[in-house]
Chain A
Amino acid sequence: MNRMIVIRGLTGLGLLLCLGAAHGFNLGQELRNAAEALQKPGKSAELGGYSEEEETAIGRQIAGSLLGAAPLVKDPQLQKYINNVGRWVASQSERPDLAWHFGVIESKDINAFAAPGGYIFVTRGLYQLLDNEAELAGVLAHEIGHVIRKHHLKILQQSKLVDLGGKLLAKQVGGDEKIHNLIGSGAEIVSRSLDKNAEFEADRIAVVLAARAGYDAFGLPEVLQEIGHSATGNSGSVALLFKTHPHPDERLSKLGDAVGSRFDGLKGLTLDNRFYRLKP
């Protein structure tokens, strides 16, 4: 338990250092304040204690930056389709009423991203690996898992950068140099590795949410197998995905241990025919 807190603390520090170094903006006093706040007793009890409004504001900044790096695939039908599937899966979670947003972004990389507040993006490279709607549901459900368990938000909260971000954002309409730097760093959070256990947890949540939604629960495992094979293939880069996530084989093995014989009688739909296929 104690060890856990120390590790998380270090992760948070890593983020602070990283953001500071990468953008060279002067956080001086804010960092000292944040560090002080971190020392105050009872602070850790507030984890996860941000309002939905604050969470969404943070998510928007991150999502907007991510889209700055990789814009949406300009196919309105595709974007509506992924929102339909995603919202249905998210409706099976404990946060059905969050304003969930999904999108496919222009990148040949194989990856998917989640930001607080329910902003979820899949790359074109990953989308093209998919074979049916159940697989898409499984991929989105993994990201939904990160959002409902506030995995990224917790990293930000522990770093206390969000306190800072919230304060700055409140004053912001645009143009401010500090804000700009903060926003610029926003997308970086999605490239950060979470605790391995957070990834395994998101995988366990994913198969359950997909099954609750009526899909074949094994869509995500199918995709993980395929991603494992893409590592040596030419279908797109998995470098960032493999940096931020445990290897697919390890994820499959953990998922196998968790599922065991629990889903033996579970059947669901794959909806191959309805799956919206991107032109090659």
Chain B
Amino acid sequence: MHSTRYLHILLAAVLLAAPIAHAGEGSAAVKADELKAEPFRDAKTVGKLTAGDKVEILKKDGGWFQVKSARGNGWVRMLSIRRGVSRKASTGSEIAGLAGLASGRAGTGRVVATTGIRGLNEEELKAAKYNETELKLAESSLTSRAEAKKFAAKGKLTARKLDYLPDPAEGEQP
């Protein structure tokens, strides 16, 4: 009975939140960049965005966002765009999360799952007491280099060569 009420409240919250997420997309270009027909550098340029242009993000592919905008639709580098809202608010993951929480609550009757977990501020760090037991515990989870390689292979991750990025500010300093 209680759980049903919770679920209703949660669903109401989700439903209320949903239109806001849609209407308030609010994503925008933060610098001038080209709109491409495909998520590649050599793809045809279909438009140009300037800083401040509002866009709607449709999809993500690596470093590219597919966007809708008044200047056209296409793919733009993700670092040229800032999302207007948290992705959690505009995707289904939050709904799933809330539903999971709701069923959890129904069983235990607990309202806040994270009670007792504190923040971590400067004062607490200053006052912190060294804890050898926890440190040993942390060290017990060590993954060797060889183990990590196996873990990567399981995920089909392959190492590749890539140079570090130069500092764009370098040379501008006196």
Give me the interface of A with B, judged by CB distance under 8 Å. 22, 60-61, 63-72, 76, 79-80, 82-88, 91-92, 96-97, 99-103, 105-109, 111, 119, 121, 123-124, 131, 133, 183-188, 190-191, 197, 200-201, 204-205, 207-208, 211-218, 221-222, 225-226, 228-230, 233, 236-237, 239-240, 243, 249, 252-259, 261-269, 271, 274, 279-280
Give me the interface of B with A, judged by CB distance under 8 Å. 30-31, 40-41, 62-63, 77-80, 82-83, 85-88, 93, 97, 100-101, 104, 113-114, 117-122, 124-132, 134-135, 137-139, 141-145, 147-149, 151-152, 155-169
Would you give the shortest CB distance from A276 to chain B, in whole angstroms?
Answer: 12
Complex formed: what's the CA distance from A52 to B58 in Å?
Answer: 48
Choose among A72, A88, A108, A257 the residue that contacts B118 (Cβ–Cβ < 8 A). A108
Choose among B77, B131, B165, B169 the residue that contacts A207 (Cβ–Cβ < 8 A). B165
Would you give the shortest CB distance from A243 to chain B, in whole angstroms?
Answer: 8
Give A274's nearest chain B residue, CB to CB: B155
Would you give the shortest CB distance from B171 to chain A, in whole angstroms?
Answer: 13
Measured between beta carbons, the chain A residues less than 8 angstroms from B77 are: 256, 259, 261, 264
Complex formed: what's the CA distance from A249 to B165 in Å?
Answer: 19
Choose among A63, A230, A252 the residue that contacts B79 (Cβ–Cβ < 8 A). A252
Give A3's nearest chain B residue, CB to CB: B174
B162 touches A221 (CB 8 A): no
Complex formed: what's the CA distance from A261 to B93 in Å?
Answer: 31
Complex formed: what's the CA distance from A143 to B30 in Å?
Answer: 26
B120 touches A280 (CB 8 A): no
Complex formed: what's the CA distance from A249 to B84 in Å?
Answer: 12
Known: A96-B145, A111-B120, A204-B167. 6 other contacts (CB 8 A): A69-B128, A88-B152, A107-B117, A212-B162, A214-B157, A240-B122
Give B161's nearest chain A residue, CB to CB: A212
Would you give the shortest CB distance from B154 to chain A, in whole angstroms?
Answer: 8
Choose among B93, B104, B119 the residue that contacts A107 (Cβ–Cβ < 8 A). B119
Measured between beta carbons, the chain B residues less than 8 angstroms from A254 are: 168
If A87-B144, A103-B141, A214-B160 touch, does A185 touch B165 (CB 8 Å cutoff)?
A: no
A213 touches B159 (CB 8 A): yes
> 29 A-B pairs, CB-CB below 8 angstroms?
A61-B130, A64-B132, A65-B125, A66-B128, A67-B135, A76-B141, A88-B148, A91-B159, A103-B138, A103-B141, A123-B120, A183-B130, A184-B128, A191-B121, A200-B167, A211-B162, A212-B162, A218-B62, A222-B78, A230-B86, A239-B119, A239-B121, A256-B77, A256-B79, A257-B168, A266-B63, A269-B155, A280-B100, A280-B113
Measured between beta carbons, the chain B residues less than 8 angstroms from A249 are: 30, 82
Complex formed: what's the CA distance from A83 to B97 in Å?
Answer: 25
A265 touches B117 (CB 8 A): no
Measured between beta carbons, the chain B residues less than 8 angstroms from A280 are: 97, 100-101, 104, 113
A271 touches B62 (CB 8 A): no
Measured between beta carbons, the chain B residues less than 8 angstroms from A226 are: 86-88
Determine which residue in B31, B100, B125, B151 has the highest number of CB atoms from chain A within 10 A of its CB, and name it.
B125
Would you give the shortest CB distance from B135 to chain A, in whole angstroms?
Answer: 4
Complex formed: what's the CA distance from A87 to B132 in Å?
Answer: 22
B62 touches A266 (CB 8 A): yes
Would you give the shortest CB distance from B44 to chain A, in whole angstroms?
Answer: 14
